[in-house]
């Protein structure tokens, strides 16, 4: 219990993480307690982005004079944190009891516990001073969401690429059919010279170009925040000194100009969702890529993408006070620690799997996956834990997204691991969230698409010049 906010032990305990306390269970119990108390008051959260669009999230909390009111603070802070990384925003409206607004303003300040988020959302992404406005629920601006079509262009000779932290993938696609795919191990986060990134990306593009008679368009996906094909923030370039980031910012514009064809690059999560929507021939799809980190993307019920960040790697899904700390944001319980190779590396020692430190991350994951395929019980418990994480994580995501499908892919789902994760997630939904189990289908793509499907879907991003 944190200030009266109750954490719940799950029915399906991850075999290697008995301390896991799912966000979805704590939130649901809190809201049920508020409802039963007959002392609930409305709380409206608004998040404004640089283009003037606004997201709203409406919920309920204990009124300020209630004995349980202190529990409001933990609940609202975690919801704000989730919304910031799901939807993004430089200004947060807290429409409700004043003590909650004051708490959020203090927490998300230069000296507050969430100072990283304050600087990231304000300075790095939206280039505006991060602001928290405490107000009445009726004073939160009305919702103003913007959506747009994404990709699905299959004509011509195209290159698609997907840049991960441990490998880069590229595909040559002719009229919607992949004629060549390649995966190459690299370690971009350790490189301080932007020339390394440029040369590696160009090597992949040139290889794909050599497999087609011409190049009509290039589409790509990569972890991070990209606006108008410019890099705002991306973990791939974490090793580049701040004074040289200008060389990174316009990297893809430079590549576009050199090839002299349309080029589009977007967050890898968006392409994950696009790949799912295209393969399923349906919408309302959340794509989750379990790779070097967690990538999330969303296709709306209308088949469009939003202006949201969908950076679920930093959105909390575990409320335990002993949850792992994210090395970048400094927060606990963020998705990347549960839905990526980081999770495998974290749990492997608990499973009795020793992973050498002097090999690449891709080799580390391969080692754990080889143990899994060989029938190692500890490795199986690692992936079973990820499956239970996925079940509770997807249930949590369903409180923030309108979903019909969840597509799981990425390097961590290769081999038998993908099926183990899928089975565990479905077991959780059937056992604890029966309504969701009926409404949401969790799926894996086929093995090839699981590994390179993002780069193929990315090829469809640009429209051809007519």
Give per-residue pLDDT as tens, 376-425.
999 999 999 999 999 999 999 999 999 999 999 888 999 999 999 999 99
What integer pLDDT is reported at residue 385 of this predicted model? 98
What integer pLDDT is reported at residue 66 of this predicted model? 96
Residue 165 DSSP one-character state: S
User: Is the model's pLDDT at 145 over the cut of 80?
Assistant: yes
How does residue 453 score in pLDDT terms, banded at 50, 70 and 90?
Answer: low
User: Is the model's pLDDT at 342 over the cut of 70?
Assistant: yes
What integer pLDDT is reported at residue 4 of this predicted model? 85
Distance in angstroms (rounded) separating the CA atoms of residues 316 and 292: 17
Q: Which long-range contacts (CB under 8 A, 24 or more apart) does 253-257 make?
A: 253/229, 254/198, 255/198, 255/201, 255/202, 255/205, 255/218, 256/218, 256/229
What integer pLDDT is reported at residue 121 of this predicted model? 96
Q: Lowest-confidence range among 88-92, 220-224, 344-348, 413-417?
A: 220-224
Bridging pattern class, strands 54-62 and 40-48: antiparallel
Three-class secondary structure of residue 349 per DSSP: helix
Rounded to a whole number of angstroms, the CA Rg of the chain reads 22
Q: Which helix (H) or strand (E) holds 46?
A: strand 40-48
Tens digit of pLDDT for each residue in 296-306? 999 999 998 88
Structure tokens at 60: 């309920």
Buried b (16+ CB within 10 A) or exposed e, 254-289: ebbeebebbbbbbbbbbbbbbbbbbbbeebbbbbbb
- Average pLDDT on 439-461 reads 76
- Average pLDDT on 369-378 reads 97
Give the CA-trace dihedral at 235, 238, 239, 241, to 10 degrees. Answer: 150
- Average pLDDT on 357-383 reads 95
DSSP codes, 172-196: EEETTEEEEEEEEE--GGG---HHH
The maximal CA–CA distance of the chain, rounded, in angstroms, is 72
User: Is the model's pLDDT at 176 over the cut of 70?
Assistant: yes
Do 148-265 and 271-455 share a fold? Answer: yes
**331, 107 contact by CB (below 8 A):** no
Three-class secondary structure of residue 157 per DSSP: strand
Structure tokens at 206: 């040139």
User: Is the model's pLDDT at 46 over the cut of 90?
Assistant: yes
How does residue 466 score in pLDDT terms, banded at 50, 70 and 90?
Answer: low
How does residue 234 score in pLDDT terms, banded at 50, 70 and 90?
Answer: confident
| Burial of residue 354 (number of CB atoms within 10 Å: 0-12, 13-18, 19+) | exposed
What integer pLDDT is reported at residue 275 of this predicted model? 81
- Average pLDDT on 210-233 reads 90
What integer pLDDT is reported at residue 377 of this predicted model? 97
- Average pLDDT on 113-138 reads 96
For 30, 257, 299, the CA distances from 462, given in Å and listed in that order, are: 45, 14, 17
Q: Which long-range contacts (CB under 8 A, 24 or more apart) does 362-368 make?
A: 362/166, 362/167, 362/185, 362/411, 363/185, 365/166, 365/341, 365/411, 365/412, 368/344
Orientation angle between helical segments 361-373 and 377-397, nearest 10 degrees: 110
**336, 85 contact by CB (below 8 A):** no
Name which residue leads in pLDDT, 257 or 362.
Answer: 257
What integer pLDDT is reported at residue 238 of this predicted model? 87
How far is residue 70 CA from its own chain's centroid?
A: 30
Bridging pattern class, strands 217-222 and 157-163: parallel
Bridging pattern class, strands 217-222 and 263-267: parallel
What integer pLDDT is reported at residue 150 of this predicted model? 81
What integer pLDDT is reported at residue 3 of this predicted model? 65
Single out the residue of 238, 151, 231 nearest to residue 460, CA to CA: 151
User: Is the model's pLDDT at 132 over the cut of 90?
Assistant: yes
Superfamily of domain 148-265: ATPase, nucleotide binding domain (3.30.420.40)
What integer pLDDT is reported at residue 109 of this predicted model? 98
Tens digit of pLDDT for each residue in 235-289? 889 899 989 998 999 999 999 999 999 999 988 888 888 888 887 889 999 999 8
Instruction: List all residues 6 or more positions away from 327 whose beta carbon is below 8 Å from its beta carbon.
Output: none
Structure tokens at 150: 């994404």
Orientation angle between helical segments 377-397 and 23-37, nearest 10 degrees: 40
Tell me the torsion sign for CA atoms 245, 246, 249, 253: negative
Single out the residue of 95, 99, 101, 100 nearest to residue 141, CA to CA: 95
Domain boundaries, the chain: 39-144, 148-265, 271-455
What integer pLDDT is reported at residue 446 of this predicted model? 66
Q: What is the mean pLDDT of the chain?
A: 93
Give the HSE-up count for residue 296: Cα atoms under 13 Å, Cβ half-sphere: 26
Distance in angstroms (rounded) separating the CA atoms of residues 120 and 106: 16
Pick the CATH number of 271-455 from 3.30.420.40, 3.10.105.10, 3.90.110.10, 3.40.50.80: 3.30.420.40
User: Is the model's pLDDT at 2 over the cut of 70?
Assistant: no
């Amino acid at each position: 219990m944190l200030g009266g906010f109750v954490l719940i032990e799950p029915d399906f305990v991850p075999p290697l993480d008995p301390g896991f306390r799912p966000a979805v269970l704590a939130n649901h119990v809190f809201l049920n307690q508020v409802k039963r108390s007959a002392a609930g008051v409305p709380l409206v959260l608004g998040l404004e982005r640089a283009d003037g669009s606004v997201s709203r999230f409406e919920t309920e909390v204990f009124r300020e004079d209630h004995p349980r009111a202190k529990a409001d603070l933990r609940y609202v802070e975690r919801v704000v944190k989730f919304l910031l990384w799901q939807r993004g925003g430089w200004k947060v409206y807290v429409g409700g009891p004043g003590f909650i607004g004051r708490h959020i303003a203090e927490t998300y300040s230069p000296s507050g516990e969430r100072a990283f988020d304050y600087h990231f959302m304000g300075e790095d992404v939206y280039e505006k001073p991060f602001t928290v406005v405490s107000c009445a629920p009726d004073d939160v601006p009305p919702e103003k969401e913007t959506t747009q079509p994404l990709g699905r262009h299959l004509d011509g000779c195209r290159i698609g690429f997907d840049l991960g932290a441990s490998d880069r993938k590229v595909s040559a696609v002719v009229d919607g059919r992949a004629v060549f795919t390649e995966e190459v191990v690299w370690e971009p986060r350790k490189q301080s010279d932007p020339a390394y990134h440029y040369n590696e990306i160009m090597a992949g593009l040139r290889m794909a170009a050599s497999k087609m008679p011409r190049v009509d368009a290039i589409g790509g996906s990569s972890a991070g925040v990209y606006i108008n094909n410019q890099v705002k923030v991306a973990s791939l370039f974490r090793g580049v000194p701040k004074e040289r980031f200008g060389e990174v910012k316009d990297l893809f514009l430079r590549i576009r100009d050199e090839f002299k064809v349309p080029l589009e690059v977007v967050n890898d999560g968006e392409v994950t969702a696009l790949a799912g929507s295209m393969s399923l021939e349906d919408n309302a799809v959340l794509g989750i890529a379990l790779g070097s980190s967690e990538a999330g993307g969303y296709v709306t019920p209308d088949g469009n993408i939003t202006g949201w960040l969908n950076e679920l790697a930093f959105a909390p899904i575990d409320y335990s006070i002993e949850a792992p700390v994210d090395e970048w944001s400094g927060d606990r319980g963020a998705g990347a620690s549960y839905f990526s190779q980081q999770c495998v590396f974290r749990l492997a020692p608990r499973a009795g799997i020793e992973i050498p430190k002097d090999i690449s991350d891709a080799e580390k994951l391969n080692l754990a996956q080889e143990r899994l395929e060989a029938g190692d019980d500890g490795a199986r418990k690692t992936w079973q834990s990820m499956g239970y994480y996925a079940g509770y994580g997807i249930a949590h995501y369903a409180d923030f997204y309108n979903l019909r499908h969840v597509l799981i892919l990425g390097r961590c789902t290769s081999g038998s691991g993908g099926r183990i994760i899928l089975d565990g997630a479905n077991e959780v939904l059937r056992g604890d969230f029966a309504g969701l189990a009926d409404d949401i289908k969790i799926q894996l793509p086929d093995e090839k698409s699981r590994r390179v499907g993002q780069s193929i879907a990315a090829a469809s991003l640009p429209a051809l010049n007519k």
